[in-house]
Chain A
Amino acid sequence: MSQILTGRVHETKRSVPTVRAKRGIPTRKLLTRAPVWVLIGLLLVVVLYPLLWMLLSSFKTNAEFSLQPFWALPSALHWQNYADAWTSGMSTYFLNSVLVVFPSLALILLISVAASFALEVMLWRGRNGILLIFLAGIMVPLQMVLLPLFTIYFQTGLIDTRWALILTYTAFGLPLSVFLMAGFYKAVPRAVIEAAVLDGANIYQIFYRVALPMVANGLVTIALVQFFFLWNDLLFSLTFISSDSNRTIQTGLLNFTGEHGSVDWGPTFAAISIAVIPTLLLYVVLNQKVIKGLTAGSVKG
């Protein structure tokens, strides 16, 4: 089932049935099309307006919230909200997230790239079994591992440290990354590997000099997909982190809105925006890659 997806999502652009290839749409057809365009307009409003509203609200003063209707535009760009949100905790949470997400990403890439090379390109007995064991991990509900992991981290003194998150993120990033990476290696022509063998390269050179550059694109995809999973993680951070100074962005945001959410709407919207903006920027710049990666990785529940 997963193969169906990974194989085909990459080709979405071709072969749209040429149902309406004829040029020059007659007026009657244009009229029947009108309701569809209204529908699409409505859809876009439903999808985009909440985000626009969030950004606009993040610039409003508290007085504007209570005196103006909700859909009113802010009278001025009240940057103070961002300064307030940033100084009352969000900066710490943001930095903590950066400090756990990027090391985890680096580890995931490093480890999965090597493992999937051994599993997909090399030939040895048991490799299919091991690949299957990795795949099984995609289906495991996180709740199944939470308590044993809590116990492990508690006993080893890693609880409430960045290491607890980095280790967990890395381990849970592996199944999907190995699975996707194996798919990228599969696309490397066998003849290229064989030519390198004939040229006298050893196995590590084949891995590092020949195969790796050919799957560089895959690395970017995996890094993107995993970034969204890790940046947006709530459960692990909520479970393993207890002190405020170690909270990551999502648990921090929950804490922030818990403290300020009901009164200080401006800073609250600014805090929400701070949590959203990195994902927003990445999507604006790299949306096609993100869509491909996430749909290929949809096996993850």
Chain B
Amino acid sequence: METMLRDRRAALLLVGPALLIYSLIVLVPVVWSLVYTLFEGNVLSGFQFVGFQNYTLLVRDPSFWQAFAFTLKYAVVVTIGQVGIGLLLSLLYVFYLGKASGLIRTLIFFPLVLPTVAVAQLFSKIFEIAPQYGLVNSLLQGVHLDGAIQPWLGQGGTAFWVIVIMDIWRAMGFYAVLLFAGLVEIPGDIIEGARVDGATGWRLVRYIVLPLMTPILFSSLIFSVNGTLKVFDSVLALTGGGPGQTTTPLTLSMFNTAFSNGQYGYGSTIATALAIMCLLVTLLIFRSARRDVA
């Protein structure tokens, strides 16, 4: 009876279009990109084989390391912020709001669906200084903290934090829902039992709730790190990588190298470094999660 479901011709016909377009536009270019790392040039000037020169260039390139450091710092800070605040929110939903949390969950999730470019334009207006003060500077003026008024996006140090705040603002509600889903899976009688045994407040969370949430916590960390290491839209739309190179992540550095300087080979090398970085970090979190659970 199952012979029909084993019809290879039908299977091929159904899966064929997907496989074809996916191979041509995703798989082949990935391999192609790896080949590009051994060449230099671009689509207009033609390509030249240079061996491993791009890789040696990468290791010695200070602007690569600057972008690398920014990416890492940004990913660590934003991941901690997104997952950390998400965790606090999820605890709030379950232990304080209970069944009433639906509406609040929905509202706090909201910013995630908005286009990053639009949100970034909004934030650049919020932190604007010229020609007029934005929301933040106006508020500071309003409470007579004129000394604190500054060009938030015009300085590398503060611009970093504006990007961080924006991306935490965008995604905290998302991680809250993700972790909430893990939290409600914990059987109520385990919590009740722990309460009867005298575990309350922080101790209850630390020794009972968190250990039971480990799998979903680590998944959230992996999603967040993978998303933040690839940050592009937020930075481009908010600061354009500036002032100077101070807020340029690897993705933007790759983009500029390829399209402003016309160096496809070197651009691909940066992209490869980024891909390896994502893979390593994911494996690292995955392994530490395994050890923790076991």
Write out the residue numbers on chain A whose beta carbons fall within 8 Å of the beta carbon of B98: 16, 19-20
B117 at the interface (CB under 8 A from A): yes
Write out the residue numbers on chain A whose beta carbons fall within 8 Å of the beta carbon of B282: 139
A-contact bits for B229-245, CB 8 A (1 contact / 0 none): 11011001100000000
B55 at the interface (CB under 8 A from A): no
Write out the residue numbers on chain A whose beta carbons fall within 8 Å of the beta carbon of B18: 111-112, 114-115, 134, 174, 178
Q: A298 touching B115 by the CB < 8 A rule?
A: no
Stretch at the interface among B4-12, B60-68, B144-152, B154-162: B4-12
Q: A294 touching B174 by the CB < 8 A rule?
A: yes
Q: B25 touching A171 by the CB < 8 A rule?
A: yes
CA A144 to CA B269, docked complex, whole Å: 9
Q: A301 touching B226 by the CB < 8 A rule?
A: yes
CA A263 to CA B215, docked complex, whole Å: 50
Write out the residue numbers on chain A whose beta carbons fall within 8 Å of the beta carbon of B222: 1
Number of interface residues of B (CB under 8 A): 111
Q: A5 touching B115 by the CB < 8 A rule?
A: no
Q: A47 touching B110 by the CB < 8 A rule?
A: yes
Q: A122 touching B7 by the CB < 8 A rule?
A: yes
Q: Report which of B15, B27, B28, B178 forms a contact with A9, defined as CB distance below 8 A.
A: B178
Q: B134 touching A17 by the CB < 8 A rule?
A: no
Write out the residue numbers on chain B whose beta carbons fall within 8 Å of the beta carbon of A290: 113
CB of A80, distance to nearest CB on chain B (Å): 19
Q: A141 touching B5 by the CB < 8 A rule?
A: no
B107 at the interface (CB under 8 A from A): yes
CA A238 to CA B181, docked complex, whole Å: 36
Q: B4 touching A12 by the CB < 8 A rule?
A: no
Q: B24 touching A147 by the CB < 8 A rule?
A: no
Q: A8 touching B113 by the CB < 8 A rule?
A: no
CA A69 to CA B30, docked complex, whole Å: 51
A217 at the interface (CB under 8 A from B): no
A91 at the interface (CB under 8 A from B): no
Write out the residue numbers on chain A whose beta carbons fall within 8 Å of the beta carbon of B288: none
Write out the residue numbers on chain B whose beta carbons fall within 8 Å of the beta carbon of A151: 32, 43, 264
> A141 with B11: in contact, given A197-B1, A203-B4, A294-B112 (CB under 8 Å)?
no
> A70 with B1: in contact, given A117-B14, A265-B125 (CB under 8 Å)?
no
Q: B113 touching A4 by the CB < 8 A rule?
A: no
CB of A222, distance to nearest CB on chain B (Å): 13
Write out the residue numbers on chain A whose beta carbons fall within 8 Å of the beta carbon of B188: 15-19
A282: nearest chain-B partner, CB-CB: B113
Q: Report which of B5, B15, B126 forms a contact with A130, defined as CB distance below 8 A.
A: B15
> A124 with B43: in contact, given A70-B138, A115-B19, A174-B18 (CB under 8 Å)?
no
Write out the residue numbers on chain A whose beta carbons fall within 8 Å of the beta carbon of B226: 139, 301
A209 at the interface (CB under 8 A from B): no
A92 at the interface (CB under 8 A from B): no
CA A140 to CA B27, docked complex, whole Å: 9
CA A177 to CA B236, docked complex, whole Å: 28
A98 at the interface (CB under 8 A from B): no
Q: B271 touching A143 by the CB < 8 A rule?
A: yes
Q: B27 touching A133 by the CB < 8 A rule?
A: yes
Q: A143 touching B21 by the CB < 8 A rule?
A: no
Q: Report which of B2, B114, B169, B187 forms a contact with A279, defined as CB distance below 8 A.
A: B114
Write out the residue numbers on chain A whose beta carbons fall within 8 Å of the beta carbon of B139: 70
Q: Report which of A238, A249, A261 forms a contact with B115, defined as CB distance below 8 A.
A: A249
A-contact bits for B16-39, CB 8 A (1 contact / 0 none): 011101101111111011001000
Interface positions, chain A 167-216, Cβ under 8 Å from B, are 167-168, 170-172, 174-175, 178, 193-194, 197-198, 202-204, 206-207
> A171 with B21: in contact, given A147-B268, A234-B117 (CB under 8 Å)?
yes
Q: Report which of A14, A15, A114, A150 forms a contact with B17, defined as CB distance below 8 A.
A: A114
Interface positions, chain A 246-301, Cβ under 8 Å from B, are 249-251, 253-254, 257, 261-263, 265, 268-269, 272, 275-276, 279-280, 282-283, 287-288, 290-291, 294-295, 298-299, 301
Write out the residue numbers on chain B whose beta carbons fall within 8 Å of the beta carbon of A17: 94, 184, 186-188, 191-192
Q: Report which of B22, B28, B274 forms a contact with A134, defined as CB distance below 8 A.
A: B22
Q: A123 touching B5 by the CB < 8 A rule?
A: yes
B92 at the interface (CB under 8 A from A): yes
Q: Can you give 22 contacting A-B residue pairs, CB < 8 Å? A: A1-B218, A18-B188, A36-B92, A46-B169, A70-B139, A118-B11, A134-B22, A141-B271, A143-B271, A144-B29, A147-B258, A148-B33, A149-B25, A170-B25, A203-B10, A250-B116, A250-B118, A251-B117, A268-B125, A283-B113, A291-B177, A294-B113
> What 14 additional pairs, Cβ within 8 angstroms, besides A140-B275, A197-B5?
A40-B104, A44-B104, A47-B169, A50-B126, A71-B138, A119-B15, A134-B18, A174-B18, A232-B114, A232-B116, A239-B255, A250-B118, A291-B106, A295-B178
8 shortest A-B CB distances, which residue pairs?
Answer: A171-B25, A301-B226, A115-B18, A148-B29, A17-B188, A148-B32, A118-B14, A145-B29
B→A interface (CB under 8 Å): 1-2, 4-8, 10-12, 14-15, 17-19, 21-22, 24-30, 32-33, 36, 43, 89, 92, 94-99, 104-118, 121-126, 131-135, 138-139, 142, 169, 173-174, 177-178, 180-182, 184-188, 191-192, 215-216, 218-219, 222-223, 226-227, 229-230, 232-233, 236-237, 251, 254-255, 258-259, 264, 267-268, 270-272, 274-275, 278-279, 282, 286
